[in-house]
Amino acid sequence: MPAAVSSPLLFTPSSAPQILKPRSLLPFQTLNLRRPATVSSSRQLAFPGSIRAAVAIEKETPENERPETFLRAADGTDVAAPTSVRGRFERMIREAQDEVCAAIEAVDGGGKFKEDVWSRPGGGGGISRVLQDGGVWEKAGVNVSVVYGLMPPEAYRAAKGEPGDGGGDSSVKAGPVPFFAAGISSVLHPKNPFAPTLHFNYRYFETDAPKDAPGAPRQWWFGGGTDLTPAYIFEEDVKHFHMIQKQSCDKFDPSFYPRFKKWCDDYFFIKHRGERRGLGGIFFDDLNDCDQEMLLAFSTECAKSVVPAYIPIIERRKDMPFTERHKAWQQLRRGRYVEFNLVYDRGTTFGLKTGGRIESILVSLPLTARWEYDHQPEEGSEEWKLLDACINPKEWI
């Protein structure tokens, strides 16, 4: 489910570079994150402390066919019309889903996406597509959702990245908030350790005034980004990826790329590790300081840049020979991916707090990951170079 945040920074990173200690890669059992075949699909995951949604958004209902639109005419012609911002954003994310899925299947050479269509009684629905155990991809998820209704105050604060007491915003404390949220979210985990993981997410969010806070204005904002998470650095790949992001940004504002590149480096920071999840890209959220039409066009351009930014890299790396050592390092970096998504990612937090569709919320997790006690790569090794770049972000172009 799409989420949005209000602050560009989650933390203040240290400016001092960290020194890596050499340590050999020890053999260790890989953690398998697959669901056992004997577990019922209706069984829910258990979390320490019994994380619950205080006021859950309605559960989804499976559907047999994709609707032409998830918007309803009963919600008003101004917001439900195909020409509205809501209508055009939904059309954009659904076209992007089709384009990315087609490109993934073409490169994979055999794997096919499984599709689930679902709706919500309160309004809207989504389309989840997942490819697992393909020829190239271990797991690839590309989801779209268009949902609306009443959001509990706790979920609103999670979406906005605000403190638990509402941050002094009386409208947040007042009661459930009418909202609209649409977005596309994707994580692509290749099998080959020399082929990088890609994440992208583009979303549009609206809120209306709560009934007991009349007169408050409607708020809207855009969010999103595309970022690259390799296990090994090939500079030509990283430069190509960042150049495509810069070209998309420069079509609208030359300040966007440096601003959103830093925002990406800051957002995907694993605070308890002191390192970034990957090698960045662009990231923005709570963006409403420009013309709405321009930001819609910018989000569209960014979504369309995913395939040319990523697929050429996969074509170069998917068939490279690798060793068990390379695979073990990839699995360790996948562990970092899991840590960030479950501990810090606001989209995951928003989904869990609203009782959202758990399979869609956790689709970003890889099938397998690995943890070792106090592992550090040997200084000067290719693994060390990757970790150094995650600790000390670089300007790639």
| Residues labelled catalytic | 199
β-pairing verdict for 197-207 and 177-190:
antiparallel
| In contact, 142 and 129? CB cutoff 8 Å | yes
Rounded to the nearest angstrom, the gap between the alpha carbon of residue 170 and the centroid of all alpha carbons in its chain is 30
The first and second tokens of residue 22, run together, are 């050499």
What count of Cα atoms within 13 Å lies in the side-chain half-sphere of residue 71? Answer: 21
| In contact, 271 and 293? CB cutoff 8 Å | no
E strand or H helix at 9: none
* Phi then psi dihedrals of residue 128, to 5 deg: -105, 130
| In contact, 5 and 159? CB cutoff 8 Å | yes
DSSP code for 10: S
Helix pair 85-108, 306-317: axis angle to 10 deg: 10
Question: What's the rounded Cα separation, in Å, for the pair 250 and 34?
Answer: 41
Place of tokens 């994709």: 66
Question: What's the rounded Cα separation, in Å, for the pair 114 and 128?
Answer: 8
- Alpha-helical runs (H) found in the chain: 77-80, 85-108, 153-160, 170-174, 235-250, 256-267, 292-304, 306-317, 324-343, 346-353, 358-361, 382-391
* Phi then psi dihedrals of residue 93, to 5 deg: -70, -30
Per-position DSSP letters for 285-318, written without gaps between them:
EEE-SS-HHHHHHHHHHHHHTHHHHHHHHHHHHT
CA angle 357, 59, 56 (to 5 degrees): 90
The first and second tokens of residue 140, run together, are 């690839």
Question: What's the rounded Cα separation, in Å, for the pair 141 and 362?
Answer: 10
Phi-psi region of 209 (alpha: psi -120 to 50; beta: other; left: phi over 0): beta
